[in-house]
Structure 1
Amino acid sequence: MANGSAFTTPPPVVLDHTARLNKPIHEERHLKVICIGAGASGLLLAYKLQRSFNNFDLTLYEKNDDIGGTWYENKYPGCACDVAAHTYTWSFEPNKNWSSVYAGAAEIYQYFKDFAKKYDLEKYAKFSHRVSKAAWNAQRGGWDVEVTNMKDGTVIQDYCDMLVNAGGLLNTWRWPDIPGLNDYKGKLLHTAHWDTSVDLNGKHVGLIGNGSSGIQVLPAIHDQASKITTFIRSPTWVSPVQAQEQHVYSEDERRVFAEDPTALLKYRKELEAGFSALWPMFIADSEVQKATFGGMTMMMKDKLRNEGLEDLVIPQWAVGCRRITPGVEVEVVFGEIQKITEKGCVGGDGKEHPVDVLICATGFDTSYRPRFPIIGPSGQALSDVWAEEAKSYLGIAAHGYPNYFMIGGPNSPVGNGPVLAALEAQADYMLKLMDRWQTENIHSVQPKYEAVEDFVEHRDKFMKGTVWDQECRSWYKNNSASGKVTVLWTGSTLHYLEAISQPRFDDWDFKYSGNRFAYLGNGYSQTEMDSTSDWAYYIRNEDDSPFLGRAKRLKAVNQAGKTEKVETSQVKVL
């Protein structure tokens, strides 16, 4: 029976060769999973385990006092989704109630809260509990996990067969590395750690950063602050409109979404297909990129109408090298901030700019280095192994760390097209491996060293032809200008879905407890163990089985020939 208790973990069931001889083929053993985080990805894992598995125990350790992850934590003014909200839902769980195309953070949090309530997922969560260490236990073939109670500081010892890190990429926020930050005497804020009690009315506000959060907060506080000074280190592409323009849904539109599932599905598919059609823009020399570059340059010049500003603001690198941000910036101080003083910032112009409130929209640590020790069989912490570069197997696992999986790990498609569909595919992939573990006498499983190295080699070669490899500072490259692209996938989201639709088991190293064929058991099938099942289920009037060839199987899945043709050259990019 599945349950959410972290403190009633049963002892591991050791199904050795002798024990399995008395059981039918594929007899399930108990599976204990610990998931780090109860944000969107953690809830997804809980849903899929609950839907597809029996005889498991799951605990979601969440450092906050509620679900939601980044959408619970980020409360800065203007915080919103920068993709169309109807594309920011699970594929199987539409939301009929989005208020607008680009929904605010509170609405997105409520979507995941409602998702958790609908499927009773919070029963798996232990709130205000932070995983502080995990160490591989070779004898038991699992992970010894140390958990800290955030309220009283007590430490709990737990154990799991499978450890899943769903802590999220944009989770560890960071202050800017600028001299004098601690000298500032005014109110210091970070967009990812917002103090909602701060009153900005009548204040002179300084804003550091021109990424997504900075561009979102700027118009949201415009009517409150008496003056806003933004400090911009480098140019960025700022779009007056997005691929889908902002639009507040009318009561009639929302009524159609609520009452006509077919119409809602059609609308969602159109948005999703249009999002995927943007992929050619990220190929450096593509016609779509060239057209987008020209169009964006003209739009920004039309807004700026100042040749001096144009040279400072409009980038020379390709559109998409760093994430595109909606909005137009005014009244800025250009150049690297030299230092922060008690009163404000000394900007690139060499002048001190006093401000009452200083907002740092300076992003997150995107190195993928775990925030706590994850100690593998070698005794090395994953954070040390990844000190210079995060190397994963298809964004899902790391060599040297058995029975350890990641949702949204290095080189996942988080900026290549629709995001949540890719996270679903990752969850499906790791659950397929867990299914094998549960029904065979597998001790541990991890990606082979050579498989990871081959993928990294392919990644580095592929990225040379993309806009992401160009000289622009981006969190796609761990906030560097010329580092390796360790965040993004080597293709479109649709490409990723096909790449991981089925595990390549030859890329994985399986270690067994005893004879690998012990799972064959006593000669009986699981079907014969259930007298209510159809013992002749394979007899039928026609062949309705899935196609065995990849091409035909894919056409059946993506309904080729049954939908309207997507013309990428006609897609409105911006």
Structure 2
Amino acid sequence: MFPLSPEPEMADEFVLQFDDTPSGRDATNRLEGPINAERHIRVVIVGAGASGLLVAYKLQKDFTNISLTIYEKNPSVAGTWYENRYPGCACDVPAHNYTWSFEPKVDWSSVYAPAKEIYGYFAGFAQKYNLHQYIRLQHQVIGAYWNHEKGEYDLNIKDTANNLVINDHCHILINACGVLNHWRWPEIPGLDKYKGTLLHTADWDETVDLEGKHVGLIGNGSSGIQVLPAIRERCGRVTTFIRNPTWVTPTHGMEQRLFDEEEKSAFANTPGTHLEYRKNIENGLNSMFGIFLKNNQLQEQTRAFIRGQMKEKLDDAYLESKLTPSYSFGCRRMTPGIGYLESLTKPNVEVVLERIDSLTERGCLCDDGKEYSLDILICATGFDTKFRPRFPVVSPSGDNLQDRWATDPQSYLGVAAAGFPNYFTILGPNSPVGNGPVLFGVEAQVDYICRLVDTFQTTNVKMFSPKEEAVRDFVQYKDYFMRRTVWADSCHSWYKNRDDGRVTALWPGSTLHYVECLKNVRLDDFEVTYAGNRFAWLGNGYSQTELDETADWAYYIRDRDDSSPLSTAGQRKLRTRSGMVKDRNVVAFSRVD
């Protein structure tokens, strides 16, 4: 027999300690409510583009007791799709799959829809779900500063319509500004000397008449590739300045075309037709990750196909030799060049491969000494794609995330930053922006953020942010993985901090890989600070179920086991309906020796 242990001495009174701050007082109040009571929290979203609207939709749909404000610098929603209006502007993803997974659109006009239609989709999404009640247009966040006493951010916001600075605060700050929203002029001396009409694709002046004019075009990225075929026939002459070769992808099987009325009717009225069409495209997009792996069979096959397509469409040996890259296909973002390559060989188009040294009053002076006089100069020179926030985000220690991410941005799984509590970013560093279907990756990020918001709301967490060592380990893994990808090739790409530098934009895996990674929150990767006793969320001993008169208090009694699988593998197979697809040829790991 074992001797009985003496009973512990019992204090006359137990006291749970809480600090006398708003967070501490809130934790004290939790003791009078049921477990996981939803405390009131304030959430601020910066940006009413596609991702900001999605966050608002999810919070409105699934949460209660939250006050929400979205600050948007523009006079309208939809972000980049509101701002970009240049001729030929479109998405390089098939339109029926450039939607939220749960919110299809059956009446797209063409395979690759123009920007105006895409703007209409996201503006319509905001209207349909009454999201404008949360949005304050022409309000630009200019500073966010952690207030340790209150356990929240103090915000400075500029009301640009009235030229006022107002103040706000929030427990959770979500930066949904994106990376394609801060356009930049080319770094060419003499921009201020040019006397002609100077345009940027992201700040397009629709009153400018191109008819019969000699137009210069700088850039052969996504915008330049779209602009040239859209304006060529209107211009008297076009001189296009190209510094770097790029893979232009007349995508096999998904060429641009208009949908006819019969197709639109089937999409709208025949059950299953539209869903099947979308799923076929998405299956195709999700089968392409092998393209991005070095020495992969799919990379080699695709590169040979695209090279052949470029040769055929250019039909010019000199241009083919100068414009076909030596680096791997996919090192830069792939862009469907609808009509672009053919336009380069038209009689009124001149291709200039020399570097522009400076701008003069008349036009562009190149390094061979030749000056090109132009009536209009279009700069299709893209955006400042650095991930540093557009406004100061200041941590409890006084660090500014703008400084931290100035040259080498390092995030936690693309959604958070070490040392910056209660702060999230959509499409932050190393997100799946070029790995497969991008909007589904955004949905995964938003769902992940919402899970953490739920944890914050239903417990007495005061602040949480990724641990430094967690970010360090993730970046180390990411850098290791990237060595086997074509993104690590030396090419001029916004995916990297320099041509031969660290890949800062892309996820180290496929989009589906990313989605599985974000299915569960790893709280052990976070520094978590509680307001007082961490178990205060247990409350007054009641569950919320037994306080809900409309709930089934015996919900767990059933006549068969219909519960979800407890294993990660089981959940994945159930979610993806594993076993439904037969005879698929998987080439993901096929290597070329």
Which TM-score bucket, shorter chain as reference?
A: over 0.9
**Secondary structure of residue in 2 paired with 1:477:** coil
Does structure 2 conserve the Cα–Cα contact (< 8 Å) formed by 1:231 and 1:347? no
Measure the CA separation in 2 of the matches of 1:319 and 1:568. Answer: 20
AA at the equivalent of 1:457: Q
**Secondary structure of residue in 1 paired with 2:73:** coil
Report the CA distance between 1:286 and its aligned residue.
0.3
**Secondary structure of residue in 1 paired with 2:117:** helix
Could you report, residue by residue, the CA deviation over 1:450-500 in whole angstroms, capped at 9, with x for unpaired residues?
00011111111111111111010011114x311211111101101100011
Could you report, residue by residue, the CA deviation over 1:157-176 in whole angstroms, capped at 9, with x for unpaired residues?
00000000000111111000
How many correspondences in the alignment?
559
The residue that corresponds to 1:267 in the other structure is 277
The residue correspondences of 1:99-498 to structure 2 (distance < 5 A) are 99-241=109-251, 244-325=254-335, 326=337, 327-328=340-341, 329-330=344-345, 331-478=350-497, 480-498=498-516
Report the CA distance between 1:400 and its aligned residue.
1.2
Measure the CA separation in 2 of the matches of 1:275 and 1:12. Answer: 48
Is the counterpart of residue 557 in structure 1 residue 575 in structure 2? yes
The residue that corresponds to 2:108 in the other structure is 98
AA at the equivalent of 1:491: G
Does structure 2 conserve the Cα–Cα contact (< 8 Å) formed by 1:333 and 1:349? no
**Secondary structure of residue in 1 paired with 2:156:** strand
Does structure 1 conserve the Cα–Cα contact (< 8 Å) formed by 2:23 and 2:462? no
Report the CA distance between 1:239 and its aligned residue.
2.4
Does structure 2 conserve the Cα–Cα contact (< 8 Å) formed by 1:334 and 1:347? no
Measure the CA separation in 2 of the matches of 1:565 and 1:254. Answer: 30
When the two chains are superposed, the root-mean-square deviation of aligned CA atoms in Å is 1.5
TM-score by length of 2: 0.92
AA at the equivalent of 1:96: V
1:565–1:407 distance in 2 versus 1, CA, 3 Å: farther
Report the CA distance between 1:13 and its aligned residue.
6.7
Measure the CA separation in 2 of the matches of 1:400 and 1:243. Answer: 47
Does structure 1 conserve the Cα–Cα contact (< 8 Å) formed by 2:38 and 2:65? yes
Does structure 1 conserve the Cα–Cα contact (< 8 Å) formed by 2:216 and 2:377? yes
AA at the equivalent of 1:499: C
The residue correspondences of 1:43-58 to structure 2 (distance < 5 A) are 43-58=53-68
Measure the CA separation in 2 of the matches of 1:14 and 1:262. Answer: 53
Does structure 2 conserve the Cα–Cα contact (< 8 Å) formed by 1:333 and 1:347? no
Does structure 2 conserve the Cα–Cα contact (< 8 Å) formed by 1:273 and 1:566? no
Of 392-401 and 319-328, more deviation after overlay is shown by 319-328
The residue that corresponds to 1:4 in the other structure is none
Could you report, residue by residue, the CA deviation over 1:104-149 in whole angstroms, capped at 9, with x for unpaired residues?
0000010111111111111110000000100011111111010000
1:335–1:183 distance in 2 versus 1, CA, 3 Å: same
Measure the CA separation in 2 of the matches of 1:306 and 1:35. Answer: 50
**Secondary structure of residue in 1 paired with 2:93:** coil
The residue that corresponds to 1:508 in the other structure is 526
Unmatched tracts of structure 2, length 5 or more? 1-20, 589-593
Measure the CA separation in 2 of the matches of 1:180 and 1:523. Answer: 72
The residue that corresponds to 2:3 in the other structure is none
**Secondary structure of residue in 1 paired with 2:203:** coil
Of 291-300 and 49-58, more deviation after overlay is shown by 291-300
Report the CA distance between 1:302 and its aligned residue.
2.4
Match of 2:544 among 493, 501, 526: 526
AA at the equivalent of 1:214: G
1:32–1:242 distance in 2 versus 1, CA, 3 Å: farther
AA at the equivalent of 2:518: I
Match of 1:517 among 535, 541, 559: 535
Does structure 2 conserve the Cα–Cα contact (< 8 Å) formed by 1:396 and 1:405? yes
Could you report, residue by residue, the CA deviation over 1:43-65 in whole angstroms, capped at 9, with x for unpaired residues?
10010000100000110100011
Report the CA distance between 1:17 and its aligned residue.
4.7
Unmatched tracts of structure 1, length 5 or more? 1-10
AA at the equivalent of 1:519: W
Does structure 1 conserve the Cα–Cα contact (< 8 Å) formed by 2:106 and 2:264? yes
The residue that corresponds to 1:85 in the other structure is 95
Report the CA distance between 1:379 and its aligned residue.
0.9
Measure the CA separation in 2 of the matches of 1:105 and 1:277. Answer: 26
1:97–1:276 distance in 2 versus 1, CA, 3 Å: same
Measure the CA separation in 1 of the matches of 2:360 and 2:229. Answer: 26
Of 344-353 and 208-217, more deviation after overlay is shown by 344-353
Measure the CA separation in 1 of the matches of 2:27 and 2:248. Answer: 63
AA at the equivalent of 2:425: M
Does structure 2 conserve the Cα–Cα contact (< 8 Å) formed by 1:81 and 1:104? yes
Measure the CA separation in 2 of the matches of 1:196 and 1:251. Answer: 30
Report the CA distance between 1:566 and its aligned residue.
4.0
Does structure 2 conserve the Cα–Cα contact (< 8 Å) formed by 1:15 and 1:29? no
Does structure 1 conserve the Cα–Cα contact (< 8 Å) formed by 2:290 and 2:587? no
Report the CA distance between 1:304 and its aligned residue.
3.0
Could you report, residue by residue, the CA deviation over 1:33-90 in whole angstroms, capped at 9, with x for unpaired residues?
0000001011100100001000001101000111110000000000001110111100
Measure the CA separation in 1 of the matches of 2:47 and 2:28. Answer: 38
The residue that corresponds to 1:3 in the other structure is none
Does structure 1 conserve the Cα–Cα contact (< 8 Å) formed by 2:490 and 2:500? yes
Could you report, residue by residue, the CA deviation over 1:288-315 in whole angstroms, capped at 9, with x for unpaired residues?
1111122222222223333332221111
Does structure 2 conserve the Cα–Cα contact (< 8 Å) formed by 1:367 and 1:389? no
**Secondary structure of residue in 2 paired with 1:143:** strand
Measure the CA separation in 2 of the matches of 1:206 and 1:447. Answer: 47
Measure the CA separation in 1 of the matches of 2:354 and 2:420. Answer: 43
Does structure 2 conserve the Cα–Cα contact (< 8 Å) formed by 1:130 and 1:149? yes
Measure the CA separation in 1 of the matches of 2:428 and 2:561. Answer: 40
Does structure 1 conserve the Cα–Cα contact (< 8 Å) formed by 2:24 and 2:532? no
Measure the CA separation in 1 of the matches of 2:587 and 2:367. Answer: 41
Measure the CA separation in 1 of the matches of 2:367 and 2:444. Answer: 45
Report the CA distance between 1:565 and its aligned residue.
4.7
AA at the equivalent of 2:332: R
Does structure 2 conserve the Cα–Cα contact (< 8 Å) formed by 1:392 and 1:410? yes
AA at the equivalent of 1:550: T
1:383–1:208 distance in 2 versus 1, CA, 3 Å: same
1:240–1:16 distance in 2 versus 1, CA, 3 Å: closer
Does structure 2 conserve the Cα–Cα contact (< 8 Å) formed by 1:13 and 1:29? no
Does structure 2 conserve the Cα–Cα contact (< 8 Å) formed by 1:234 and 1:335? no
**Secondary structure of residue in 1 paired with 2:356:** coil
AA at the equivalent of 1:124: Y
AA at the equivalent of 2:437: P
Measure the CA separation in 2 of the matches of 1:13 and 1:451. Answer: 26
Measure the CA separation in 2 of the matches of 1:255 and 1:389. Answer: 50
AA at the equivalent of 2:239: T
Does structure 2 conserve the Cα–Cα contact (< 8 Å) formed by 1:429 and 1:502? yes
Does structure 2 conserve the Cα–Cα contact (< 8 Å) formed by 1:370 and 1:383? yes
Could you report, residue by residue, the CA deviation over 1:398-428 in whole angstroms, capped at 9, with x for unpaired residues?
0111000011111110110001111011011
